[in-house]
């Protein structure tokens, strides 16, 4: 009777296969936790993905999304996340093309290209475009601007807005009727670059804007000749869709 009672007790509880299944699930969980720990998370992309799961997978009550927007239900986030990834890849291709051009023309130390949060930044030192205290474009700078204009007009960038920003160092300009201060000089330089891109390379005017910041947006302290040279510059910024003008 004792053996029979023990056998009956053994039939209780979960099936034996559940033990193996539970071990497998635990191992998978550990594996994905490790992958997550080693990965680099883009907060915006992560938030967008989480929103898509919480809406279309019906995690929230009545299957609503966190912010109530409709875009998640239109193709599981293709219109936001995938477009952002494609845009970044296009910027990287452009960055590589420009860097190859700079290497071929030995201009790596005069023009700097970087993908930043607002878009693709092309930074041109003063001596690439202008003479000291002047805003008229040098003849040998126009070929570089034509190259940049051709890239800006490519199909994948035709909807992007471009800001052109003029900057100076902290040294006051020798006063003249044309450029009384660094404010006038910086905006004149940006305006002349914009005008050239419109009139010579035929970039759509509505995509371009010009700004002058004088000495008030330095990239280095104005304490040495080398640093002042870094601050005398024109920045061409091709804006991401998130930062484009309306």
- What is the chain's mean pLDDT, rounded? 83
Using CB atoms within 10 A of its CB, is residue 167 exposed (0-12), middle (13-18) or buried (19+)? buried
Average pLDDT of the residues in 60-74: 49
Comma-separated ranges of CATH 3.30.1330.60 domains in the chain: 80-243
Report pLDDT for 174. 81
Report pLDDT for 176. 75
Report pLDDT for 32. 76
For the chain, percent helix, then strand, then coil, each to nearest 5?
55, 15, 35
Report pLDDT for 173. 87
Average pLDDT of the residues in 148-154: 95
State pLDDT tens for residues 183-232: 999 999 999 999 999 999 999 999 999 999 999 999 999 999 999 999 99
Asked whether the predicted pLDDT for residue 58 surpasses 50, the reply is no
State the greatest distance between any 2 C-alpha atoms of the chain, in Å, as a whole number. Answer: 115
Separation between Cα atoms, residue 126 and residue 109, nearest integer Å: 12
Token readout for 105 is 């023309």
State pLDDT tens for residues 91-123: 999 999 999 999 999 999 999 999 999 999 999
CA distances from 218 to 115, 145, 170 (A): 19, 23, 9
Paired strand residues for 116? 119
- pTM for the model: 0.68
Q: Compute the Cα dihedral for 156, 88, 243, 191 and give only its sign.
A: negative
Report pLDDT for 72. 47
**Contact call for residues 190 and 144 (beta carbons, < 8 A):** no
CA distances from 93 to 100, 149, 209 (A): 11, 16, 24
**Contact call for residues 148 and 181 (beta carbons, < 8 A):** no
CATH of domain 80-243: 3.30.1330.60
State pLDDT tens for residues 6-28: 555 555 566 777 778 888 888 88
């Amino acid at each position: 009777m004792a053996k029979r009672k023990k056998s009956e007790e053994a039939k209780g509880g979960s099936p034996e296969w559940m033990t193996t299944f539970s071990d497998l699930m635990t191992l998978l969980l550990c594996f994905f936790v490790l992958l997550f720990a080693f990965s680099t998370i883009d907060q915006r992309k992560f938030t967008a993905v989480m929103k898509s799961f919480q809406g279309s997978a019906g995690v929230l009550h009545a299957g609503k999304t966190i912010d109530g927007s409709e875009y998640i239900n239109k193709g599981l986030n293709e219109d936001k996340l995938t477009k952002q990834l494609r845009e970044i890849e296009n910027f990287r291709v452009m960055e590589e093309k420009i860097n190859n051009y700079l290497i071929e023309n030995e201009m790596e130390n005069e023009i700097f290209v970087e993908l930043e949060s607002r878009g693709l930044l092309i930074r041109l030192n003063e001596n690439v475009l202008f003479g000291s205290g002047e805003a008229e474009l040098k003849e040998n700078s126009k070929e570089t601007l034509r190259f940049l204009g051709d890239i800006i007009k490519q199909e994948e960038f035709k909807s992007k807005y471009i800001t052109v920003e003029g900057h100076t160092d902290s040294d006051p300009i020798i006063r003249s009727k044309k450029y009384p201060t660094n404010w006038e000089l910086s905006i004149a330089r940006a305006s002349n670059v914009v005008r050239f891109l419109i009139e010579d390379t035929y970039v759509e005017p509505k995509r371009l804007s010009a700004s002058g910041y004088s000495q008030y947006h330095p990239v280095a302290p104005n304490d040495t000749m080398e640093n002042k040279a870094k601050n005398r510059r024109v920045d061409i910024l091709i804006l991401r869709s998130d930062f484009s003008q309306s």
